[in-house]
Amino acid sequence: MPLKSLRPLSLSLLTATLLALGGCSTPTVVTLQNGTQYLTKDMPKTHGADGFYEFRDISGKKVRVKASDVATVKAED
């Protein structure tokens, strides 16, 4: 196959892959007891026995809060 015909095919494949991966995230709102809200790209993970939620907010900042400080975790409307 000539190199010129591979470039459009590669670009199309890359675009389709990025779109598929983008559909996997679930934007989530984490609301703390004090009213502070964080918007995340994905559902936060909890870390077992230590009782903390750990996630990255939409700006990419890593956030770690005690589970007892969290009021709600719900998918964004």
* Residue-level pLDDT at 33: 95
pTM score, whole prediction: 0.63
pLDDT along the chain (77 residues), means of 10: 52 49 72 95 79 90 92 88
Nearest to 70, CA basis, from 39, 34, 45 = 34
* Residue-level pLDDT at 18: 45
* Residue-level pLDDT at 48: 66
* Residue-level pLDDT at 24: 59
* Residue-level pLDDT at 41: 87
CB under 8 Å, gap of 24 or more: what pairs does 21-29 form?
Answer: 26/75, 27/75, 27/76, 28/55, 28/73, 28/74, 28/75, 28/76, 29/72, 29/73, 29/74, 29/75, 29/76
